Each structure stands twice: as C-alpha cells, then as structure tokens.
Structure 1
Amino acid sequence: MSEKTWSGRGGVLLAAWCIGGGALLAGCGGGDGGARFAGLPPASTGNPPATTTEAADIKVLSNRADLVSGGDALVEIVPAAGIAASALRIELDGTDVSSAFAMRPGERFMGLVTGMSEGRHLLSARAGDTALSSLVITNHANGGRILYGPQIQPWACDAGAQDADCNRPVSYSFKYLSSDPAVAGFQPYDPARPPADIATTTTDQGRTVPFVVRIETGVQDRDYYDLAVLFDPAKPWAPWQPQAAWNRKLLIQHGSGCGNGYGQSNALSSQRVLDRDALSRGFAVLAVSLNDSGHNCNIAVQAEATMMAKERIVEAYGELRYTFGYGTSGGAIAQQWMANAYPGLYQGIIVGASFPDAGSTGNEVEDCALLRNYFGRTATAWTPDQQAAASGHLNTAVCTEWIDFYKFNNNLNPYATNIANIPGTSPTALGGCDAPPGARYDATFNPGGARCTSADSAISIFGKRPDGFANRPYSNVGLQYGLLALKAGRISAEQFVDLNANIGSHTIDYALQAPRVAADPGAIEASYRSGSFNQANGLGQVAIIDIRTLDISGIHHQHRSWTLRARLDRANGGHANQAIWYQAGSQREAYDTMDAWLGAIERDGGATPLAQKVIAHRPASANDRCGSADGTGLSMLECTGLADGSTRMAAGEAITGDVLECQLVPLDRASYGTVVFSDAQWSRLKAAFPTGVCDFGRPGKGQQLTRFWQTYLDTLGQVVVGGMPLPDLP
C-alpha cells in the first residue's frame, strides 16, 4: 500500500456528511434545510447528486454509493412522472438484475443489489433502448479498508475464520424472557421447540409480541458485530417490510477503556446487545467490537466499523429512523468523538463517566506518570495534600488510579502489554496491546515489531517520524506544573521550582529523560483535524445526555462533563443540546428522554437547520439535574462547584482542556503576583523554561476545528497520511 501526504488548512467543511439511517441522507442541516433527520454522507456538501436525471433517480439507501461494502446495496429507483417502474430494466455492469427490484410497501421501487465484487460497478436504469440514469457504486471488501489503512498488523483471527480478514458466515441464535418471575434473565430459545413460558412485551409502537430475540453475530472489518432485535422465527423479514415488532430505531452499546487489540474480540459484545429495556421497546441493539475503545482506540477505525455495521442493518433489516448510543468512560469517548468527527453516525448519545476524547485525556495520563515519578524520587519534601494540589486533584488517588490500576500510560509505551485486566472490560482496556510476544517491538531484537502505543496503532492519522515510528501527540514544553497551587499558597516557591526543573519527560521508547518533550511535527494538526482532540464543532446537531456521578478519588473527574460543555459553547455558541444529570436519572429514564427528544426532531419536517431543531425539541425531561449521593436535590451551581480539576488546569489551562502544545510567552516575575523567588530559584526556573512558559490565553499551537468525515485512503486505496475529507461524488 503506497502512501501520500495531504496537507490542508484547518478549516471545516461543515455540512452534511451524515450517516444515520432512514432515508440515509440527512440531518446535518445541509441543502434540504435539515428536513430529513437520519442519513449518511451525501454525494457532496450541499449540491445535488450528479447522477440524478429527470428520467430516474437512483439512490443507494444503505450507505453512500462509494462507501458500500460486503457486495450488497439496498437501492431505490424513483422514475420521473410518466415512466412506469414496471417498465424499467435495471442493469449492473450490463447484466439484467431487474428481478431484484419490485414495487415495495409505500409505493417505493426498491431492490437489494447483491454479488458485487470489490471495485466500481455501474448500476443503470433503462426503459426499452433508452438509458434513463446510472450510478457508480464502489464496493469495498467486507474486511474493511474503507476509511482507514493500513490496518493494524499482526491480526489474529479466531478459529473457523475463512481467510486473513477473519470472514465467516453470519450466525444466529435466539433468546427469550420467561413469564415465570422466578426465571431471571434471557434464556436459550429453540424455534423448533418453543417453550410454554414465553413472556410478552408491548413496544413503543403499541404492539404486544412474544419477548423472543434473535441475535445476529457476524464479522466485518476483520472483527465481530452483534445485533439483537425482537424476532418471530415463523414470519418473514425483508428490508422493505420489516417485522412489525421492530420500531426501526437503533441503540449502539459501547465498552469502556482505551487500548489496542491485535486480534478479534467478542468477549462482551453479545452480552451488551441483550439490553432488556431497549429490546422491550422494539429497538434493535448493536455492539461492534471495533468501536469498543478498550479493544480499539482509533477514531477512524471506530467510525468505519460503525458505518459498515449500520449498512448491514439497513440491507438486512430495513431503513433506520434514528440512532443513539450508550456507553460510559471509554464508551463516552467513542460516542463523543465519533459523533463530532463523523456527523450522522449518531443522532443522539447517552454518556456516563464522561471523557470528551482520548487525546486530551491522554495529556493528564502522561502528566500523572511524570508527576508520580517525580514525587517518588525528589529530595524535596511534599505532603500528600501538596502533591494533590500540584496535580489539580482533590487527592493523590487520581494519579494513582490512572497509573497503578488502569495503567493507561501503557498507551504511550511501545513495550507495554495488557498485563492486568478489569472484570467486565475488554482484555486491552488497560492500555497497551495484546500483540503476540514474538511480534512485539524491541529496540534491539525486533525493531520492526508492533509498537504497543495508541499513536502507532493510528499511524496514518498522526504520521511518521523519521525513525518510522508514529508522531507523538504529546507535549509538556512550557507547562508550569502546580502553578495555581503556587499562587494559592498551597505549595512553596522551592517546591514549584524543583518540580518544574526536574519533571522531565519520556523518550519515544518510554524511557525517562531530563528534557521536556515537544509534540512531533504534524501530530498537533492531525490531532485536531481528526477529532482525536474533540473540538465539538460537529456536536451541535447531536442530542447529548451526560450522566455523571460523584468520583473524587478516581479518574472519572467531575469536570469532564463541564469540559465538553465549554467546548460546545466555544464552537457552537451554546450548549442547549446537552443535558447533564449529576447523580440524578436512571439509564432507563435516559432512554425514554432521548427517544422522546429524537422522535420530536424526526416529526419536524420543516426547513429549520438541524442544530436549531435539536434545541427546539429538547424535552422538559432533558433539563440539567443535580443531586447529592443521598438523592437530595442541589443547584447546578453547587454541582459545578463539586468539579475537581486536571494536571493542565492546575497549570493554568482553561476548563476546555484541549491544548495539545501551548504557545509561549517569556518568563515574567510579575505574573506570579505575590510569590517571591530568590535569585537562585529564578535562575533555575529560567533554565527549566528556556523558550518561555505557556500562554493559555491564546489557542494552542496548530489548534483548529475538526474536519468532518476524514478518510485516510484515497479512491485508489493509497494511504493519505494525516487524512482528507471524503471527496464529493462525481
């Protein structure tokens, strides 16, 4: 696979790169005023598709025509007035496929085009000898490589895989809920011998049906997906006529953590899709291994896998009305950065234990690693309270949890493996990777091996250093650790000077070194452009419910919810599309509220831009809420006051918290207020900051808005280092 580098300005192609469902074009407030709600990337950023003629309009419903995968595409053909659909001859590359098309319910002429090989195909509509219209469909392998490449290697397939892409036939299983209260949970169901104790459920469409669920398990993009939906094995199901129990809504479940898997993982996906609350309402529930951040923390691969799974749903089950997600911690990361950078994948997101992204969160992880190392070796005395103050936390347990328990600094260590595990998470949830021992990087014995860092697993996003390793998106140049604690009198001038003179950094192979480290050239711009540092400029069209609990001793800091809110304010001029439930509201209540919110938006067929519709139709139940641990109601001001900080906020950064590398200003004694430094201390401080200190009053170096729908492969399959927005269809 060859490579080329794309460089461009940091501006944003705002528009309608949308993937959601339904008519599968829409929802970004583009040329149709946002009248259609659920959608996928359109042919262009607002211009009508070039393939549409007055004679017939050919529409791929399941994905954008050049992003199709797996050989199939659900297609609708709308002939012009006066042309009967029954008179059309439909050809794929000159072969008659008219038998796949028919007038379906709703007077729609639709068909499932199948059997496409990898590459470009011409789908055309003719009436007799007259060519009416044609559309080029580009089909990609079921193994992926649509938005991102090269794929991570080596990759281990489970037993039974048919090829190196781990392909295998789709499998189905059934579960049911018993009407006997003594029988808890879903039970195996045999369609040939149905049990007598099947419970019923009434969906949100008012249909009472047996509570029988079919689980589909398949492989796309080299990894698993699972889909569960209410299903009657005795009845047919077609994408143009789904079974009535399905409400045509989709819930995507997400896992936690942030790590880099080097093989298939389906340990938890099949459990997540058995969401009783969602299934009972009639939702389809999806889990995709590659958007489980603990298994894969590459934003572009997450988006690609999610896009492919949604295409599969439309082709096999039918068009989607809308999609929302649910997930905590790493599941919040996946939703918030995908919904921002790949608008339309989600119409709503429900996040818990929220982080806006993995990139800016990684700043604190590495800072904690350096701070803990410093506190462990310095001769200067520090009390635990002083250590916490310098770190921006309420106590020292936060950094301890980041480094000693979760070990997320492993994501910066090329030698790290998932040396421990947390029950209920994916194997790589602690960071690092699970590459086979013989394939792992070793500077001496295997310098070309797999480097277990998040950047190396996403090397096409960040680009390469001259040594071939991934550019590193981390910098602590100019960062004044403990600045606010110094000004507040919580640490001494000597402690401040000693800390900043000796904090150091890590080499590219994660060995401690005395100098600080700057981000590698290209890594900064790529981090912002890709959405790895979430700028929230794509989130204004997404309904957000953030469920927050009090966590003063762990990594899920209170301020992360307010961090995203501050980014929404900066990018979109407000945050009326985000509700924060602070120790208030259940998961079921969040489902009800989100469903009501999106349903109201869906019913609004007006020309108002989508972002305005999201705000206008926010239900009363989506208000901000604040409660104490015992359920006592508090004011939002009190909840805001409960928020702790971060290592960067303790160094003067704003709550937006998304400066990768700061702009610098010269040291100035006057900037420290009443703090007095001796001449010797001032000399040491100048030596620690030879190029100056952070000026957080300005944007970070290279800071720019997220570019929507970044792809890292061009139309010829060449790698585009740093990415580029999807091109318009010709």
Structure 2
Amino acid sequence: MRLLKWLLLLALVLVLVFFWPRSEIPQSLFEPHPVLAIPPERAGSLLAVTDFIARTERPADLYPYPVPLGDVGPSTPLFSGPKQYPFYCGWHRMGIEPPLVDNEQGYGVAIYADDDTLLGYSKDCLHPSRLLWYRLGVDGSVLPYQGGDLAAGELLLRVELGTIQRYFYLVVMPVTAKEYPLRTGQSQWNQKLIYQFHGGVGIGFRQGDLRIERMVQRRSAQLRQGYAVISSSANRTSHSYHFLRAEEVARQLKQHFISLYGEPEMTIGIGGSGGGIAQYLLAQNTPGLLDAAIAQYSYPDMLSQVIYALDCDLLHNYYYFTAEDKAFWQPWQHRQWLEGLSTVPDQQVRHRNAISAAQLLAGLKPTPMQGATQCINAWFGLSSVVHNPRQGRLRPFVAPELLQQQHWSYWEDLVDIYGRDEHGFAHSLWDNVGVPYGLLALRAGQISPEQFIALNARIGSWLPQHRMQAERGRFIPRLDTPIWLSAFGRHNMTEPRVTDSGLAVAPRYRANREAIERAYRYGQLFIGELAIPVVDLRHYLDPVLDMHHLQPSFMARERLQQRGNDHWQRIWVSHPDYTPEREAFAAVVDWVRHGEAPASVSDRCFAGDGKVLAQGDDVWASAGACQQIYPALSNSRQQAGAPSHGLLLQCALIPVQQAIARGDFGRVDMTPWLAELKQIFPDGLCDYQQPDLGYPPDWHDEGISSPIEPWLH
C-alpha cells in the first residue's frame, strides 16, 4: 500500500515536471496596483557613522511640526538613507482613497479616478493627514462616530491618519463628545504615551498598512485608562527590518505628537516579535525615544536569529537528501542534538508530502518522518523569504518586467548600510566557515566521529547571492497553487566536491567582514547598550514549535550583563492561556516614576490562570524554579559550541590540530580523523574563545569590550 502511494506521488511529480511547463508566477498571484517603474533619482541621505550610532549626532529636523491637517508630513529622509524604490503603496488594504499623484512619467503605481480615468502616478504613496473618529464599545467593538451621544460605557477616540517619510502614521487619543470635531482636545489623556510596534518578517520596498480597528482593540484597556497611542507602518517589521529608517520615522512621529499635545510624562513601547526587536534596538540606538519597553516574543535583533535560522534548511537538506544514514536523522530527538530548538513526537513535519515528492524527483526513496522540530515547522522557507534575492515574497507587488530587475532579500533592504559586492548584490552577513555542526552531540557521545565528519563534510552552505535562483515550482492551473520542487531551496546550496583525499566536501560561505562591522556600528545588532526599564514578556511556546522560543530573552540578558546593564531587564514567561500585559504596564510605570525596579517587576513566571508560579532574582538560574517549569533550549550554533549570547557572526579560526590539542572536542580523540577534518576545515575550526571578527576594532581600543570577553575567564 505504501509502495502504491509513493508510485502515485512520483507520477504526479513527473507530470508536474514534464507536462506542466508553466513555472512563472500567475498574474492572479500578483498584488493589486503594482509598481510599474522606478524613478532614476533617490532623494535623502544616510547618516555617516564612524563610531557607534548611539554616539552619533543626528542632523537637525527643521520641519515645522505639527503636520497640518490636509498636508503630508516630511517625506525626504534626513539620515536613514536615500528613498527606497520600488515602493509599493498600501492604501487599498486600509480601505481609504488612493495616494496623491506625484508624477506623470509612470513611476510607481497608477492612480485612477472613480470613472477609471488615469490621473497620474504615485511613486511616494503620500496621503494628506486627516481626522477619523471611532466609538470603542464595552464589547470591544470599534465603530465610526459622526457626532451625537455615546452609549453607556462607550469611549470616543480621535484618530489622526497621515504619512511621515512615506509611511502611514496613527495618533489615537481618548476624548469626550464635547471635543468633537476638534484636533487638539485632550481632556481624557493621562499624560502617558504608548508607542505601538508590530512584528512580522519583511524585506522592505513597501509602505505597508495599519489596521486601525485592530490596533484600537489591542490597546483598548490602556485607552480606557487614558493613554494616547501612536504607531507607524515603518515600525512594523513585516514591512522592513531597517531600524535606521524605523528610528527616523519614530522620532518624527513623536515630535509631531509633542507639538500637538505637549511632552508626555513617559513613552512606553510595546510590541511582539519584530516589535520587540525594535524596542531593544531603538532604546539602544536613540536614547530618549522610549522611557520603558514591553518587548513581547522578542529576539535581541534580526541578525541573531537569521544566523541559526538559515542553518535549518541546510540541516533539513542533509537529513533528507545528502546523508547516507538518513534513517538515523528522522527521530525527533536526534535532530534536536544538532538543531537545539524544541522537538515534539506527536506533530507532523510541515510540507511532508512536498519533501517526499522532492526526494522521489531526486531518485531517493522517501524517508519516514518521526515527530517534528521547531527548526522545520517554524523556520521552513525562511531562506527563500529573507535570503534569496531572486525570490522574496511569493505575491509580487511590481510589474512582471520589474520583478527580475530587483533583488528581493533582507540584505537588499539594508544595502545602503551593508554595501554591495562586486556583482552588484547586497552583502549577506550569514557566515558558516569553521562552524563544527553537532560538536556538543559529538562531545556527549550522541553521534560518532564518523557521523560528525559526514555531517560537516556535506552540510555545505548557501551559494553567494549572485548565484542564487528563484524557487523551482509549478502552479496548478486555475487554483494557482504552487507545488514546490526545490525543497529547502537546496538548488541554492553548495554541492560536495571531491578533494584530493577522495572525501566529498561542500564549501562553506564567508561573509564580508566590513559589512558585519557596519551592522555593529549602525545598531542593527543589539550589544546591550540600554538604560531604560524592559519587561521581556512572552508565552512559553517552545512545546508547540512556534518560532518565538524562550532562549532569545537570555541572549539579550547576557549582552546586557556584559555591559553592566542587566538590572534594566526583567524576564516574564507565561503559559499561553494568560497574558500579564496589565501587570507589565503597571510595573514599568512604577519603575519609571521611581527610577528603580519595584518588587512587582521581578523576574517571574505565570500559570495559565495568571498565578505567579515563582519570582525573584534566581528563578531563571540553571536550577531556578521558572527554568524548571519553562526551560530555555538552544539553537544550531550553540550546539556547534558557540556562546549562548549569539553575538558572533564571523568566528576567528584555529587550526584543526591546535583545536584537538586544546581539547575543543572534549574527551573524543579526533586525531584519527585529522586528515578529514583538515579537508572539511582547511582554514581552521571556529575558535569560540575569540570575539567576532566583525566587531569594530577601535571599540577594543576605546575600552569597549566585546560581548565574548567575559566568557574567556
């Protein structure tokens, strides 16, 4: 029966490959109102950072705030780099009228009148500011308001919508009916301001959108307490992880708010995932923007997760395609030895049928899959979305003829900071030269030296950016559903080459060191320079294989500890059935007002009913009560021996023979495999006792130690 299943699957694959030649993206999968052409000029400047961004003065903002109603806000960057094009407008997702026409040359998106008459084109997606009014009901409903009495328990909200730096902004203020329709009424404001950040995975080139009703519902409890709320689509990482651009918009939006209502008593950030990253980085890079942060489901920065997340597909390719002992790697426990992330026995592997089809297409018998891991179920396909310049989003938002001209990746979004290589592609900062995958498993006796050698010989790396190709697939007619034929993006991975000794070794990838240094200097990496209260708040999601695992909270803590700033952070972890958001707001308000952390903000963990299970300074220690209830796990780089703070993009190298002599392999004597190790690691193994090679060298000279140094002692 199983044989018949695989034969039918093989027949389907062969039909897709040989009889469905249609591989281009169907027109129906393109986003509406695509960008038609790119203007030749890019106005704006990039801040020159020679030291560190937090110590670099920003240029004066001479815009005469506030933004007048009926006008657009500032739209030419002062310091976050030239305007990015293509730039896709997002008005249609918000149900508002199109942006202003700003050219007749066909740049940007086409703008039509109601009678389908072409009015012109918009390259910058600018919208005049306007006021909108909503009633927040006791049941959480958000309805438009056009005057009149409010029902019992209803809260009236004035919402200002416009654009700053081409991104949508919102200002939400609780008011009374007597203040309708005035712009500046603020009788219900408690003098505290919330900056709402948003998460997601984005690669730039889009204005994005803000869902007013959703944001009001999310912040309904605080709005009823009198908080004002501001937000921008530039502070939503599903659009971009360019935090210099995010900073400039946040600065200008807050200045706009102050010009209308005065200086708030405090500004509290909140947001999850990428929204948590934004708070860590903006608090570090631009002191004074936020007074406190509630970072939910956070990572310390985007790069720290990309480094190990891009390992996942390489490991999957090894398990299913290049390993000789494929069956050994299917039990979920075995994969965790290499991946470090959570694993469960009772979930199915994501896209298992597509993986089996790709194995058949490669002439391999499909491998039975036992359990699932976070590495595959949470991170599957990230390599296509953020790392592959030929792929990016499945649903393109530019005309087909532009699609092939543009590079689509996280690296390209930040090319003004990271720079380009000799082929014209943005530098990738991902690096795995010298990484001994599975080193801790080898030391623990979980895998043999032979398995360690085979793994590291064949895992390879990602191809250089200029050699990568789009994902290979076919779209089922009419349904426009893709069937992926390039599982894990394996066609963009290096292939084993036979060395002089006869061992087949897949090459590794070395990143550009200057680009890594610029990531440090421009604040794209969190180095622990932070001096505001932070409640790092998350549900414990490791058991459900969600990408928001617990360990990144401790990455951030270790970096703060190195700088002597860990007293500014508290880690709260809760069962998914309870969210202690109300307690977090009360705690940070008290913290800001008194200048020191109150007892109510200590490290803690919560049960599903809201009960505090444990609290105190030691609950997250290795034997601490919270650590026992909600254990933090690991990742592929830690399993390769890298430090747990994760701030190491390019490792120093130590010759293999010296690594063996020093004891890097623990009690395992790798001398009999010295020849093979030299073939796999010709330049040496990662020396994790040394700092990141991309760490700015002058920071050492100035006495600014790198995060690795405390781990040397």
Distance 1:226 1:598, change over 3 A: same
Indicate conservation of the 8 Å contact 1:148/1:304, yes or no: yes
2:99 to 160, 166, 171: 160
The 3-state SS of whatever aligns with 1:168 is coil
1:333 to 267, 270, 277: 277
Query: Could you say which residue in structure 2 is the equivalent of 1:583?
Result: 574
Cα drift, residue 302 of structure 1: 0.9
Query: In the aligned structure 2, how far is the partner of 1:366 from the partner of 1:343?
Result: 32
Query: In the aligned structure 1, how far is the partner of 2:146 from the partner of 2:649?
Result: 54
Query: In the aligned structure 2, how far is the partner of 1:536 from the partner of 1:141?
Result: 33
Q: What is the one-letter code of the residue matched to 2:76? A: G
Query: In the aligned structure 1, how far is the partner of 2:48 from the partner of 2:195?
Result: 34
Distance 1:269 1:475, change over 3 A: farther
Is 1:703 aligned with 2:635? no
Distance 1:362 1:436, change over 3 A: farther
Q: What is the one-letter code of the residue matched to 2:173? A: V
Query: Could you say which residue in structure 2 is the equivalent of 1:215?
Result: 159
Indicate conservation of the 8 Å contact 1:175/1:212, yes or no: yes
Distance 1:5 1:73, change over 3 A: closer
Query: Could you say which residue in structure 2 is the equivalent of 1:226?
Result: 170
Query: In the aligned structure 2, how far is the partner of 1:506 from the partner of 1:276?
Result: 45
Q: Note the 1:314-713 alignment, pairs <5 A.
A: 314-377=258-321, 378-381=323-326, 382-383=328-329, 384=331, 385-395=333-343, 396-404=372-380, 407=382, 409-419=384-394, 434-441=397-404, 449-507=405-463, 508=465, 509-510=467-468, 511-513=492-494, 514-537=506-529, 539=530, 541-552=531-542, 553-571=545-563, 573-583=564-574, 586-601=580-595, 617-627=596-606, 631=611, 633-634=613-614, 635-636=619-620, 637-640=624-627, 642-667=631-656, 668-670=659-661, 671=663, 672-677=665-670, 679=672, 681-704=673-696
The 3-state SS of whatever aligns with 1:455 is helix
1:271 to 205, 209, 214: 214
Query: In the aligned structure 2, how far is the partner of 1:490 from the partner of 1:627?
Result: 34
Query: In the aligned structure 1, how far is the partner of 2:397 from the partner of 2:241?
Result: 13
Distance 1:418 1:674, change over 3 A: same
Query: In the aligned structure 1, how far is the partner of 2:46 from the partner of 2:259?
Result: 35
Query: In the aligned structure 2, how far is the partner of 1:548 from the partner of 1:160?
Result: 38
Query: Could you say which residue in structure 1 is the equivalent of 2:115?
Result: none
Query: Could you say which residue in structure 2 is the equivalent of 1:714?
Result: none
Query: Could you say which residue in structure 2 is the equivalent of 1:79?
Result: none
Distance 1:589 1:472, change over 3 A: same
Query: In the aligned structure 2, how far is the partner of 1:463 from the partner of 1:439?
Result: 22
Query: In the aligned structure 2, how far is the partner of 1:660 from the partner of 1:400?
Result: 22
Query: In the aligned structure 1, how far is the partner of 2:698 from the partner of 2:237?
Result: 20
Q: What is the one-letter code of the residue matched to 1:212? A: L
Deviations 1:168-218 (A, max 9, x none): 22122211234xx6x542332112xx1351426xxxxxxxxxx21111111
Query: Could you say which residue in structure 2 is the equivalent of 1:247?
Result: 190
Indicate conservation of the 8 Å contact 1:398/1:555, yes or no: yes
Which stretch has the larger CA shift, 288-297 or 625-634? Answer: 625-634
Bigger RCO of structures 1 and 2 (CA < 8 A, at least 6 apart)? 1
Deviations 1:49-102 (A, max 9, x none): xxxxxxxxxxxxxxx871243xx147xxxxxxxxxxxxxxxxxxxxxxxxxxxx
Q: Which has the higher strand share?
A: 1
Deviations 1:528-556 (A, max 9, x none): 1122221111x1x1110011222222322
Distance 1:328 1:408, change over 3 A: farther
Indicate conservation of the 8 Å contact 2:660/2:671, yes or no: no
Cα drift, residue 400 of structure 1: 0.7
Q: What is the one-letter code of the residue matched to 2:255? A: E
Indicate conservation of the 8 Å contact 1:217/1:225, yes or no: yes
Deviations 1:366-386 (A, max 9, x none): 111211112221213433322
Indicate conservation of the 8 Å contact 2:651/2:691, yes or no: yes
Cα drift, residue 419 of structure 1: 2.8
Distance 1:337 1:592, change over 3 A: same
Distance 1:257 1:236, change over 3 A: closer
The 3-state SS of whatever aligns with 1:327 is strand
Distance 1:189 1:503, change over 3 A: same
Q: What is the one-letter code of the residue matched to 1:470? A: A
Distance 1:315 1:554, change over 3 A: same
The 3-state SS of whatever aligns with 2:230 is strand
Q: What is the one-letter code of the residue matched to 1:173? A: L
Query: In the aligned structure 1, how far is the partner of 2:281 from the partner of 2:539?
Result: 21
Query: In the aligned structure 2, how far is the partner of 1:166 from the partner of 1:266?
Result: 11
Distance 1:623 1:434, change over 3 A: farther
Indicate conservation of the 8 Å contact 2:44/2:81, yes or no: no
TM-score (structure 1 length as normaliser) = 0.69
The 3-state SS of whatever aligns with 1:346 is coil
The 3-state SS of whatever aligns with 2:566 is coil
Q: What is the one-letter code of the residue matched to 1:512? A: M
Q: Which runs of 5+ in 2 are unaligned?
A: 1-41, 92-97, 103-122, 344-371, 469-491, 495-505, 700-713
The 3-state SS of whatever aligns with 1:687 is helix
Q: Which runs of 5+ in 1 are unaligned?
A: 18-43, 45-63, 75-111, 118-139, 201-210, 421-432, 442-448, 602-616, 708-730
Distance 1:436 1:321, change over 3 A: farther
Q: What is the one-letter code of the residue matched to 2:567? A: A
Query: In the aligned structure 1, how far is the partner of 2:60 from the partner of 2:47?
Result: 20
The 3-state SS of whatever aligns with 2:223 is helix
Query: Could you say which residue in structure 2 is the equivalent of 1:147?
Result: 79
The 3-state SS of whatever aligns with 1:216 is strand
Cα drift, residue 315 of structure 1: 2.1
Distance 1:468 1:2, change over 3 A: farther
Query: In the aligned structure 2, how far is the partner of 1:543 from the partner of 1:520?
Result: 35
Q: What is the one-letter code of the residue matched to 2:61? A: L
Which stretch has the larger CA shift, 261-270 or 553-562? Answer: 261-270
Query: In the aligned structure 2, how far is the partner of 1:357 from the partner of 1:701?
Result: 19
Q: Note the 1:90-109 alignment, pairs <5 A.
A: none
